[in-house]
């Protein structure tokens, strides 16, 4: 990867209609009153920045579960997976990653395997940082069968500002670790439900990078990590 690749980042195709709309509005504002054109230009630049889709170096060793999104690890707790996935009521360890409006919002598959369910669930648009957002907010949930037969789940959750979940994943599809599969517009959250007895390798407050940060290792017996700010 060259230095230019870190500056000129590709734009996700779902963003081009928004960028075009921002540009048109900017042109109109500039005609109406020149200073408003500068405001529109700043807004258009932010829209381009929001829909950036940078390349990532995805770790390839079998058994690694990587972060599906950029953002802050906001919660690690036990919770039942979304009922629409049919995984039962037994709690699973859930890692929640909160995405603010400045994070990359392209979502990636956390582990390779077979998609056994992919279900969209309409709902509310509460603040995605709240625990109840997992149950009440609009979401797109995926159940994944791993190569060793174990199962996990990952869920896109709309937030207070986000009003649209985009996905390109379907039941019966084989997926690869780190592959792009969707996007949530303008602030949101990702929940990852780990297989039983698998401990997280991240801590609350840590910044995760989608497709790169290792959340868990199916082959590791390491206890749950701890950390502190310094």
**What is the rounded CA–CA span in Å between residue 215 and residue 192?**
9
Q: What's the confidence (pLDDT) of residue 211?
A: 97
Mean pLDDT of all residues in 198-209? 96
Mean pLDDT of all residues in 219-225? 88
Which token pair is 193?
């439900």
**What is the rounded CA–CA span in Å between residue 110 and residue 212?**
9
Query: What percent of the chain is predicted at pLDDT more than 90?
Result: 61
- pLDDT over 90 at 155, yes or no: yes
- pLDDT over 90 at 83, yes or no: yes
User: Is 220 in the active site?
Assistant: no
- pLDDT over 60 at 95, yes or no: yes
**What is the rounded CA–CA span in Å between residue 32 and residue 19?**
20
CA atoms within 13 A on the CB side of 145: 10
According to CATH, the topology of domain 64-217 is Glucose Permease (Domain IIA) (2.70.70)
106-108 and 180-184 as β-strands: parallel, antiparallel, unpaired?
antiparallel
Q: Which residues pair with 149 in a beta bridge?
A: none
Instruction: Using pLDDT thresholds of 50, 70 and 90, give the confidence band for residue 161.
Output: low
Among the listed residues 67, 96, 134, 188, the single catalytic one is: 188
State the span(s) of the chain assigned CATH 2.70.70. 64-217
């Amino acid at each position: 990867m060259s230095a230019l690749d870190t500056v000129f980042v590709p734009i996700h195709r779902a963003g081009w209609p928004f960028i075009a709309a921002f540009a048109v509005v900017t042109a109109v504002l500039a005609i109406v009153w020149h200073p408003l054109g500068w405001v529109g230009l700043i807004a258009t630049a932010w829209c381009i920045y929001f829909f950036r889709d940078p390349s990532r170096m995805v770790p390839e060793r079998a058994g690694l579960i990587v972060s599906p999104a950029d953002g802050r690890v906001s919660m690690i707790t036990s919770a039942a997976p979304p009922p629409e996935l049919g995984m039962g009521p037994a709690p699973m360890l859930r890692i929640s990653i909160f995405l603010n409006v400045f994070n990359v919002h392209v979502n990636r598959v956390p582990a390779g395997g077979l998609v056994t369910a992919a279900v969209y669930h309409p709902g509310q648009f509460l603040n995605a940082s709240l625990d109840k957002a997992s149950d009440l907010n609009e979401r797109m949930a995926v159940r994944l069968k791993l190569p060793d037969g174990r199962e996990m789940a990952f869920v896109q959750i709309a937030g207070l500002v986000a009003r649209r979940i985009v996905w390109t994943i379907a039941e019966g599809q084989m997926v690869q670790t780190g592959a792009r599969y969707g996007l949530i517009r303008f602030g949101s959250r990702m929940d990852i439900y780990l297989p039983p007895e698998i401990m997280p390798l991240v801590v609350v407050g840590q910044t995760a990078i989608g497709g790169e940060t290792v959340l868990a290792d199916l082959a590791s017996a390491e206890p749950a990590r701890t950390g502190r700010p310094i």
